[in-house]
C-alpha cells in the first residue's frame, strides 16, 4: 500500500526475480494511478494501470504515480 501525498508523487517498488515469469499487476483505491515499469538498464517495459507482464530474470522498478491524492494498493502476483 502506498500513499500519493502530492501531485505527481511517484512511489518506487523494486522486484527482483530469478526466472522468466508472468506477473499480474493490480491497482486498487479511490484514485487512478499509473504504473511505469523499468528494467535495471533503464529500459521502459510497460506504462499503464493494470495487466500482465512477461518478465525475464532480473531487477525491475515499478513507479506508481498519479495526479490525484490518496491511497493506492499495488499488487504484483
Contact 40, 60 (CB under 8 A): yes
pLDDT in tens, 28-65: 777 777 888 899 898 988 666 666 778 889 999 988 88
pLDDT in tens, 5-31: 887 788 888 989 898 888 877 777 777
Amino acid at each position: 500500500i502506498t500513499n500519493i501525498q502530492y501531485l505527481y508523487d511517484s512511489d518506487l517498488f523494486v522486484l527482483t526475480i530469478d526466472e522468466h515469469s508472468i506477473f499480474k499487476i493490480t491497482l486498487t483505491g479511490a484514485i487512478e494511478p499509473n504504473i511505469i515499469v523499468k528494467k535495471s538498464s533503464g529500459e521502459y517495459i510497460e506504462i499503464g494501470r493494470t495487466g500482465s507482464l512477461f518478465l525475464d530474470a532480473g531487477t525491475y522498478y515499478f513507479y506508481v504515480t498519479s495526479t490525484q491524492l490518496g491511497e493506492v494498493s499495488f499488487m504484483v502476483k
